[in-house]
Amino acid sequence: MPRRLPSSHGFSGILPWLLIALGLLAAPLRADIHPVPLEKNTDSAKCLECHASDDNREFGGTGPNGPHGSSYSHILERNYQFGQAATPGGPVTNLYPNPDTSPQGPYALCAKCHSLATVMSAASWAYHPDHVSTDGFSCSICHAAHGMGAVSPSVTGERLINFDINVVTQNGANPISYNRATNTCTLVCHGEAHDTTGAHAATAVRSVVR
């Protein structure tokens, strides 16, 4: 029997694409957008770089090219796990201690374009290894894959940073924010309160390994 795909086209499959298309129309207004490889004058590639059949021929499978269905949610071509926390600001559920950073790992979609080995070496940011391996962060906790507009002084969209409010919460009365100049965030996450000085104070256990 053909496999049952958890993510395929139909009304529920088309709706996210409509939202993506609307987002692309607004792209020039964004502070930062996701730079993906594109063929000249081919706007659809902005979606198809990530949304495609997981067994497509282009990458060695036997299925059709394009977004016909995937075993991964949101019709994603590769695995992309989301970060989890029982309560915003509380310990992050660490599902992948020392995760596989290959194209077969939990963040394989990011590995299509980014060197996760470089990310985990702290070359891009000193705290990437601790956040990902020790605390169990997925890329999704801090970064918005579709880009993020500058909607307020505290949400600039730079570096695609847009924190997942299912995982983080406000630090007191201060709005959740990121400061590129100091490379710091103001919020409570993984049991610690962060502020613009870079200081952080523990409020709970940082992560729970499962």
pLDDT tens per residue across span 122-172 = 888 889 999 998 888 999 999 988 876 666 666 677 888 889 999 999 999
User: 3: pLDDT confidence band, cut at 50, 70 and 90?
Assistant: very low
- How far apart CA 97 and CA 49 sit, in angstroms, is 28
Radius of gyration for the chain, computed over Cα atoms and rounded to the nearest angstrom: 18
Please state, for a pLDDT cut of 90, what percent of the chain lies above it.
Answer: 34
Which two structure tokens, joined as six digits, stand for 26? 């607004």
Residue 90: partners with Cβ closer than 8 Å, 6 or more residues away: 190, 191, 204
pLDDT level of residue 205 (50, 70, 90 thresholds): low
Given this model, what pLDDT does residue 157 score?
Answer: 73
pLDDT at 98: 87
From 3-7, 74-78, 168-172, 179-183, the region with the lowest mean pLDDT: 3-7
186: tokens are 């103001």
pLDDT for the residue 60:
83
The predicted structure's pLDDT at residue 43: 55
Tell me the C-alpha to C-alpha distance, in Å, between residue 116 and each of 88, 105, 113, 143: 26, 10, 9, 15
pLDDT of residue 207: 53
Res 197 pLDDT > 70? yes
Looking at residue 109, its pLDDT comes to: 93
In angstroms, rounded to a whole number, what is the distance separating the alpha carbons of residues 53 and 208? Answer: 33
Q: Assign residue 158 a region (left: φ > 0; alpha: ψ between -120 and 50; beta: otherwise).
A: beta
pLDDT at residue number 135: 87
Tokens 């694409």, located at residue: 17
Measured in residues, the chain has a length of: 210
| First CA to last CA distance, the chain | 33
Helices (H), the chain: 11-25, 45-48, 108-111, 116-120, 128-129
Name the more confident of 103 and 7.
103
- Is residue 186's pLDDT more than 90? yes
SS3 at position 185: strand
Tell me the pLDDT tens digit for each residue of 40-93.
555 545 788 889 999 998 878 899 888 899 999 999 999 999 999 999 999 999
Structural element, H or E, at residue 184: strand 184-189
Side chain identity, residue 13: G
Nearest to 74 by CA among 145, 7, 123, 120: 7
> What does the pLDDT read at residue 104?
86
Provide the mean pLDDT of the chain: 78
Position 198 scores a pLDDT of: 76
- pLDDT at position 36 is 55
Q: Give 31's pLDDT tier (boundaries 50, 70, 90).
A: very low
Reference 14, options 67, 82, 64, 65; nearest CA is 67
